Chain A
Amino acid sequence: MAYVSLKNIYKSFGKTEVIHGISCDIKDGEFIVILGPSGCGKSTVLRMIAGLEAITSGEIAIDGKVVNRLEPADRDIAMVFQNYALYPHMTVYKNMAYGLRIRRMPKAEIDERVRNAAKILELTEFLDRKPRQLSGGQRQRVAMGRCIVREPKVFLFDEPLSNLDAKLRVQMRLEIRNLHEDLKITSIYVTHDQVEAMTLGDRLIVMHDGYAAQVGTPLDIYEYPATQFVAGFIGSPAMNFLNARLDPSGESVEIPGNVKLPLANSSLPEHAGKEVILGIRPEHFEPAHDGAATLDLTVDHVELLGADTLVYGHFAEDKTLSTLRLSDVQHLDKNTKLHLTVPPQKIHLFDRETGHRIGK
């Protein structure tokens, strides 16, 4: 149990800077998910915390103790790797006991810890097997067992579920969540899967090109994405973006085709007349009532998913493809015109130049 603090972490490989200053305070027992597309540097951050990668500048502290120069083994962390990294020639038992044996723990205590971990993870009957005789999910559990027996201050997970099939992934996700609730060990979890991030994380760090684009609770990030990137990355199907302009009073936003959508929060006079990006999530469109400002969507094609229907189409002037999510099965023909509106509080505005969020 420990808190971890990252202060202005930078990382360069040769002359290329890949991490441009990440700061975050992770509370005791918190489950933090680092989320981002591949190549955004999320694994590098994790590896710096683990001590597998040197920190170019900045400071990482675990429980207030700066660990920049400590070997991974001395940081009191444990890590689960994407490919499990189990020792192939050792049995499950030995795999879990190995780290403790190196630390010269008494045999009886090792045995107790390993059997205890095996019980939690339901691995008891597999203790004498070799990793190659196990299924993917079981191997994943052994990898976690190897961490649990160490009773470390911090758990690190590097995309631990991406080698599993979809069904197993859901199951393991729940197991990880349960495990964390039982053990309450500070955890840092790297993934590119937003569902994993949303369901597991107490807080998320959304990374983009080596920057932390936003840090916050999953719902916070969904409801108030800080940048256009975060808005597009979180949520599936992705948010629709339209070019728009704030009207001179700053009280409504106008999209090509002379449609004006009122804004919920008090006007934005300081941005009046500004060219902006309007963001609307596919699930936030509503059928228009009389008198409301309407957006006319021309249907291009429809995907029936059973539980809901995804409609792809375009708005009058704007040719960009937009997505709309309707609940239940809806049969719509091509070129049907849908009259839609958006509740003012579900409208997101982003600066067209910087991509930053405008207004609350």
Chain B
Amino acid sequence: MVEHRPWLTFLTHAVLIGGCLIIAFPIYITFVASTHSLDEITSTFPLWPGGHLIENYTRALSVGPRDLGATVGTMMLNSLIMALGITFGKIFISLLAAFAIVYFNFRFRMFFFWMIFITLMLPVEVRILPTYKVAADLKLLDTYSGLIFPLIASATATFLFRQFFMTIPDELCEAHRIDGGGPIRFFFDILLPMSRTSIAALFVILFIYGWNQYLWPLLITNDERYYTLLIGIKRMLDVGEGVAEWNIIMASSMLAMIPPVLVVIFMQKQFVKGMTETEK
């Protein structure tokens, strides 16, 4: 690492490149499959991209595969609405919860904090049945609200913001009180701008989390109009006796990868900043 030995540099690069290739290979295969016609893939699997790229992708986006009532375009939009809803909802609720826990002195404050903290141990799957019952009773099946709200509560984000707020010196809050600001003002004028980088980092994580939700949307949607892309892809495989349209499925998979990748690329700088430094 410190020494400059050419063969060592070569070796490290070789290992890194090898690793990248191994990880990238399935994605490459997906891409290749999405550029051929169905016949071409089902006979002998090609290793080089074919000529049906535009055809496959336009078909996926505008028509969708056979037997599925929704186009990939609709499903992407649904996924996007859900992912953004979950992301903004989670950030907003967590900020408020952390604000209450850190800055307000009320009875059973620690009790509530630990209650929130304990839910960290319960993943969505554990509480999925009661949640489903509640959502069904509230008539949230096949609605965007049903897709978003049950996933909004977030112990992790609350905890993260709590830790961040605790590093903000008390004097800042006191100075603000002397300046004449109330708690709401403190939240919007001081805390929110100061948490900007943490919010950006969480946005990346939570968007990917929201985008990749599978089990919950699967349970709560029956109407194709509310299918998210991940469910759509799964449904495309359920063709019974017929042959799955692998080229369209692969094109859909490629499309499913794009938004998270974009989010990461565009927010990379903020993300790293949020993880490594705090503005103080």
A positions within 8 Å CB-CB of B: 50-52, 71-73, 77-79, 81-83, 85-89, 98-99, 102-103, 132, 146
Contacts and interface: CB of A to CB of B under 8 A. Distances in A.
Interface string B141-171: 0000000000000000000000000000101
Given A85-B175, A98-B189, 10 more contacts: A50-B178, A51-B178, A72-B177, A79-B174, A81-B171, A88-B194, A88-B279, A102-B179, A102-B185, A146-B179
A102 B171 contact: no
B77 interface: no
Contact of B180 (A83, A86, A103): A103
Residue among B174, B178, B185, B196 having the largest count of chain A Cβ atoms under 10 Å: B178
Interface in B172-196: 172, 174-181, 185, 189-190, 193-194, 196
9 A-B pairs with least C-beta separation: A73-B180, A99-B179, A85-B171, A85-B175, A89-B193, A81-B171, A72-B178, A102-B180, A72-B177
A83 B178 contact: no
A81 B175 contact: yes
Nearest to B172: A85
A79 B178 contact: yes
A102 B175 contact: no
Nearest to B171: A85
Contacts of A132: 279-280
B180 A88 contact: no
Interface residues of B, number: 19
Nearest to B168: A88
30 contacts: A51-B178, A73-B177, A73-B178, A73-B179, A73-B181, A79-B174, A79-B178, A81-B174, A85-B169, A85-B171, A86-B175, A87-B172, A87-B175, A87-B189, A87-B190, A88-B194, A88-B279, A88-B280, A89-B190, A89-B194, A89-B279, A98-B181, A98-B189, A99-B178, A99-B179, A102-B179, A102-B181, A132-B279, A132-B280, A146-B179
B180 A52 contact: no
Nearest to B175: A85
Contacts of B190: 87, 89
B229 to A, nearest CB: 37
A272 B223 CA distance: 103
A85 B177 CA distance: 12
A85 B189 CA distance: 15
Contacts of A51: 177-178
Nearest to A53: B174
B159 to A, nearest CB: 23
Contact of B174 (A52, A99, A102, A103): A52
Residue among B175, B179, B190 having the largest count of chain A Cβ atoms under 10 Å: B175
A85 B174 contact: yes
A188 B62 CA distance: 73
A256 B190 CA distance: 65
Contacts of B196: 89
A52 B171 CA distance: 10
A44 to B, nearest CB: 13
A91 to B, nearest CB: 12
A52 B170 CA distance: 11
Contacts of B181: 73, 98, 102
Nearest to A130: B279
Nearest to B194: A89
A316 B179 CA distance: 61
A180 B16 CA distance: 65
